[in-house]
Chains A and B, each alone.
Chain A
Amino acid sequence: MSPVTAGVPPEIPRVNGELAFDALWESRAFGLAAAYLASRDEDWARFRRHLMDAIAEAPPDTPYYEAWVTAFERLLAGDGVLVTAP
């Protein structure tokens, strides 16, 4: 599987409003969290708690999706899916 790379292909259709993501990795981060929660039949409540914490802890202008990835990693670590490095 090839890793995703930065940059948004210009041909992504914008049928409904403007583009939702500024970079491809942001869309993957969103899709991964959504897919993971869907696979557990779970809504966004638990993830949102982690997201709020990550936003509150990070410097104010931390890009949103970086806080998102931090929140997702914590969720996965809490579920025992990933082990974070000591």
Chain B
Amino acid sequence: MSDDGHRGAEPSPIERRVDAIESLLVEKGLLTTEVVDAIVETYEQDVGPLNGAKVVARAWIDDDYRARLLADGTAAIGELGFGGPEGEHLVVLENTPAVHNVVVCTLCSCYPWPVLGLPPRWYKSHAYRARMVREPRTVLAEFGTTVPDGVEVAVWDSSAEVRYLVLPERPDGTDGLSEDDLVPLVTRDHMIGVVR
């Protein structure tokens, strides 16, 4: 008898539904469990915010790369080997002393997967989607982020085909750090714009 290890309570209705869909699609020969497993594994392990952090660190170190990144995000991000679904048209938004950018998708959950992986639950929530366009500073404060009065908060609603990535400002006091040392300073929340 095999030990599943995690057979717990009775499956919920939604779990039964997903099981049913998977079983039916495999029975109809439309996909295989191995393909589904490979895709899930890709988005759990290989594709995530570490990719975006490398892009940001490169831009902080290399002014020419930064210029290419702002001119054509998809191509410059592709130089580092990142791309794929939901990354066909990437635009990078530069934070400056005058402007702080933050990204939302009010219609569903559009997000730049190749550089950030899959979006966190709060990004997809009704509260974030509805409130970020209406009261961004208030929502940012709930993330612990205060934007000074002299800095404009620019919200970007990815309502069409472009996917946005925020390029945060390089922190003070990091001049001596190497590119590799800069990478851990860049978090997913910096690149969505809810943290600065």
Contact = CB atoms under 8 A, between A and B. Distances in A.
A contacting B, Cβ–Cβ less than 8 Å? yes
B147 interface: no
Residue of A1, A16, A51, A61 ringed by the most chain B CB atoms within 10 A? A16
A25 B15 contact: yes
B47 interface: yes
Given A9-B5, A17-B49, A76 B21 contact: yes
A3 interface: yes
B17 interface: yes
Contact of A31 (B28, B37, B46, B125): B37
Given A31-B36, A32-B36, A64-B109, A21 B44 contact: yes
Contacts of B45: 13, 15-16
B126 interface: yes
The B contact surface, by secondary structure, is: helix
Nearest to B45: A15
A55 B50 CA distance: 29
A61 to B, nearest CB: 6
A18 interface: yes
7 contacts: A16-B51, A17-B48, A17-B117, A32-B18, A32-B31, A35-B36, A61-B125
Nearest to A55: B108
B12 A20 contact: no
Interface of A: 1-7, 9, 12-13, 15-23, 25, 27-32, 34-36, 38-39, 43-44, 48, 51-52, 55, 60-61, 64-66, 69, 72-73, 76, 81-82
A46 B190 CA distance: 30
Contact of A44 (B15, B37, B85): B85
B8 A5 contact: yes
Given A3-B19, A16-B46, 17 more contacts: A2-B4, A5-B15, A6-B15, A17-B50, A28-B22, A28-B40, A31-B37, A32-B18, A34-B36, A35-B36, A36-B30, A36-B31, A43-B88, A64-B124, A64-B125, A65-B14, A82-B21
